[in-house]
Amino acid sequence: MPEYWDGDIPWATPKDISSLDEPDFYGPLETISELGLKHSSAALLPAGAVLMSSRAPIGLLAIAGRPMATNQGFKSLVAGPELDNRFLYYAIRRIVPEIQERGSGATFKEVSKSVVSEIPISYPASVDEQKRIAAILDKSDAVRRKRERVVAMTDELLRAAFLQMFGDPVLNTKQMPTVALGDLIKVSSGNGLTAKNMHPNGRYPVYGGNGVNGFHSEYMFEEPQIVIGRVGVYCGAVHMSEPKSWVTDNALYVREYKRPVNRTYLEWALRFANLNQYAGRAAQPLISGSRIYPVEILLPNEDRQNAFAAFVFRQKALKANLNGARDEAEALFNSLYQRAFRGEL
DSSP 8-state symbol, 237? -
Residue of 308, 227, 221, 205 whose CA lies nearest to 275: 227
Cα–Cα distance between 62 and 68 in angstroms, integer?
12
Query: Which fold is adopted by the domain 177-299?
Result: Adenine-n6-DNA-methyltransferase TaqI; Chain A, domain 2 (3.90.220)
Tell me: pLDDT of 1 over 80. no
Q: Which residues pair with 55 in a beta bridge?
A: 110
DSSP state of 242: P
For residue 66, which of 21, 139, 9, 131 has the smallest C-alpha distance?
9
pLDDT of residue 188: 95
Exposed/middle/buried for residue 256 (C-beta within 10 Å: 0-12, 13-18, 19+):
exposed
pLDDT at 41: 86
Q: How confident is the model at residue 74 (pLDDT cuts 50, 70, 90)?
A: very high
pLDDT tens per residue across span 114-133:
888 888 888 998 999 999 99
Other CB atoms within 10 Å distance of the CB of residue 212: 15
Residue 88 reports pLDDT greater than 80: yes
- Assigned CATH for 2-123: 3.90.220.20
Q: Is the pLDDT of residue 2 over 90?
A: no
Cβ atoms of residues 213 and 237 within 8 Å: no
Rounded average pLDDT over 1-29:
88
Q: What is the mean pLDDT of residues 33-41?
A: 89
Give the residue with greater pLDDT, 1 vs 132: 132
Q: Per DSSP, what are the bridge partners of residue 297?
A: 179
Report the alpha-carbon distance of residue 89 to residue 51 in Å, rounded: 9
pLDDT of residue 200: 82
Q: At what angle do helices 263-272 and 302-340 cross, to 10 degrees?
A: 70
Instruction: Indicate the pTM of the whole model.
Output: 0.73
Of the pLDDT bands very low, low, confident and very high (cuts 50, 70, 90), residue 22 is very high
**pLDDT one-digit tens code per residue, 279-321:** 887 777 889 999 999 999 999 999 999 999 999 999 999 999 9
User: Cα angle at 13 between 6 and 333, to 5 degrees?
Assistant: 130
What digits encode the pLDDT tens for the residues 238-254? 999 999 999 999 999 99
How does residue 209 score in pLDDT terms, banded at 50, 70 and 90? confident
* pLDDT band for position 106 (cuts 50, 70, 90): confident
